[in-house]
Amino acid sequence: MTCTLPKPRRAALTLDLVRDETGFVALKPFWDALVDQMATRSPFVRWDWMSLWWKECGAGAQLALAVLRDVEGIPQAIAPLMLAREDDGARRHLITLGFLGGFGPAHGERLDFIVPAGREDEFAPLLCKAFSLLRDECELVRLNFLPQESPNTPHIRFALEEYFVRADVLNRSACRCIVLPSTWEEVEARHSANWRGAQRRKWRTFTTEHGGIITRAGDRVPHEQAFDELCRLHAMNFPLGVSTFTTPVAERLHRRIASAWLPQGRAIMPLLESRGQVIAAIYGFIERGEFFQYQMGWDETLARLSPGRLAVGACIMQAIRSGLHTFDMLPGEYKYKQQWSDSTRWLLDLEAFSPTSWRAATFHTLRAVRRLFPRDVRPDFKAADELREESKSLISSAA
């Protein structure tokens, strides 16, 4: 007679909400080890990014990290969440549940639950129970920059529909990408003869008439000075108030990130120099064979030389030499991204509302009414402005 032994049961997991900085810091030894196992990991979920964001940008926010632990208390998965008020119009009067670092002047641009690959169907629904625990503390949910292809995404969307109301995709942003070949010549071959000719003429003009060379931060120019040059050039292209990168908070965060990651090779900053002067710079991050282009800047007085276009080419060359396989330009629809890219992946901003908050209901209703007036065809601009002010007034009256 034989008997069949029962299948071994998985160890029980418990869901813990980490609400204070001490508990946050205690996760450090486990954080990046879990990120290393993710299917759709990015530099924006790394410990350095999340912890520095919290120190530089977390004023007024509350930690709400959901952590799955085994019987020994070891973290097995993390949902990096926070409660805060967005500094964006009428939403600033609503308590918002979002990703840690998901909004503000220096937000991450590819955020997700930290779950080991292959365990998403098991762990993500358990992490999503945090939505139920936090529902009474928030009025709005905004989960920005969630990769559409993440295995966690279907579970998060289902949970928002279960625990909140009017759950939907608020924005779907394109990230233009380049699948990197093994040589620069293969990149050129993907483009037209006219494109190749124009690009080569620009390079010749840059090198022969301007004494141009390609370097990178840390070679001829120290890392700190290279970052200063990036900020100077970026400010030329994007005046203060147009780009969040030019704000003091964002600069402080990225200066700290760059000082840590550039020497480690986790960030790179290709530079174009002309007769000893930096005329263009690109700043981005490397994660698991992918380059994420975050910011750039170029000397506008040399616009005829197209230094921005040359800088992108130089960055692609360096990514190829580094053996990377993907060049992600991150969200933001610019013509140059469309010209360079050969593929696209998408980021989602998910939104949902508290079923019990009248302020959230008021915000949603007034926003829907306002959207009845297209931006390019508004028969009564005064009425639309009054509607905006009414929205702010109604929501702030209960704040």
93 & 162 share domain: yes
Residue 34, pLDDT score? 98
Domain boundary among the residues 284, 308, 324 is at: 324
158 and 112 housed in the same domain: yes
Q: Domain count of the chain?
A: 2
For residues 20 and 169, membership in a common domain is answered with yes
SS3 labels along 339-399: HHCCEEEEEEEEEEECCCCHHHHHHHHHHHHHCCCCCCCCCCHHHHHHHHHHHHHHHHCCC
Q: What is the pLDDT of residue 8?
A: 38
How would you write 197-266 as a 3-class SS string? HHHHHHHHHHHHHCCEEEEEECCCECHHHHHHHHHHHHHHHCCECCEHHHCHHHHHHHHHHHHHHHHHCC
- Confirm whether 341 is domain-assigned: no
Kindly report, residue by residue over 186-211, the tens digit of the pLDDT.
999 999 999 999 999 999 999 999 99
Single out the residue of 208, 216, 209, 201 nearest to residue 309, CA to CA.
201
Instruction: Report the C-alpha gap between 55 and 53 in whole angstroms.
Output: 5
> What's the distance, CA 208 to chain centroid?
38
Which pLDDT belongs to residue 243? 82
Q: Can you tell me the distance from the alpha carbon of 180 to that of 353, in angstroms, rounded to the nearest whole number? A: 41
pLDDT at 220 over 90: yes
Q: How far apart are CA 303 and CA 211, in angstroms?
A: 16
The span from the CA of 254 to the CA of 297, in Å, is 15
Answer whether residue 100 shows pLDDT above 70: yes
Q: Are residues 262 and 295 in the same domain?
A: yes
Residues 276 and 231 in one domain: yes
DSSP 311: H
Name the percent of the chain in helix, strand, coil, to the closest 5: 45, 25, 30
Residue 90 has pLDDT above 90, yes or no: no
With 70 as the cut, is the pLDDT of residue 393 above it? no
Share of the chain above pLDDT 70, in %: 89
Classify residue 388: in a domain, yes or no.
no
Whether 346 and 174 have beta carbons less than 8 Å apart is answered as yes
Chain-centre distance for alpha carbon 331: 8
- pLDDT for 241 equals 65
pLDDT for 374 equals 64
Residue 42 in any domain: the answer is yes
CATH number at residue 49: 3.40.630.30
Report which residue type is found at 318: Q
Between 231 and 6, residue with greater pLDDT: 231
In a domain, 258, yes or no: yes
Q: What is the pTM of this model?
A: 0.88
**Pair (186, 156) in one structural domain:** no
Kindly state the average pLDDT of the residues 231-235: 94
133 and 158 part of one domain? yes
In this structure, the answer to whether residues 129 and 186 fall within a common structural domain is no
- pLDDT of amino acid 383: 39
Give the range of the structural domain holding residue 102, as residue numbers without chain letter: 14-173+348-356
pLDDT above 80 (res 142):
yes
pLDDT tens readout for residues 265-308:
999 999 999 999 999 999 999 999 999 999 999 999 999 999 99
On whether residue 361 sits in a domain, the answer given is: no
pLDDT category at 320 given cuts 50, 70, 90 is: very high
The pLDDT of residue 396 is 40
Pairing of strands 277-287, 270-274: antiparallel
**Within a domain: 251:** yes
Do residue 119 and residue 241 come from a single domain?
Answer: no
Domain presence at residue 46 = yes
User: Do 164 and 221 fall into the same domain?
Assistant: no
CB atoms within 10 A of CB 116: 17
Q: Determine the Cα–Cα distance for residues 315 and 327; give it in Å rounded to an integer.
A: 9
Q: What is the mean pLDDT of the chain?
A: 89
Is the predicted pLDDT of residue 355 greater than 80, yes or no?
yes
Please tell me which of 104-108, 291-295, 335-339 the model is most confident about, judged by mean pLDDT: 291-295
Name the residue with tokens 């709400």: 64
Virtual CA dihedral for 146, 179, 336, 205, nearest 10 degrees?
150
Average pLDDT of 224-252?
88
**Could you tell me the pLDDT band of residue 379, with boundaries at 50, 70 and 90?**
very low
**Domain assignment present for 114:** yes
Q: What is the mean pLDDT of residues 303-331?
A: 95
| Same structural domain, 135 and 205 | no
At residue 382, the pLDDT reads: 38
Residue 375 confidence (pLDDT): 58
End-to-end CA, the chain: 72
> Above pLDDT 90, what percent of the chain?
77
What local confidence, expressed as pLDDT, does residue 11 receive?
A: 62
**Cα separation of 52 and 29, whole Å?**
16
Based on the domain organization, do 193 and 89 belong to the same domain? no
- State the pLDDT at residue 376: 54
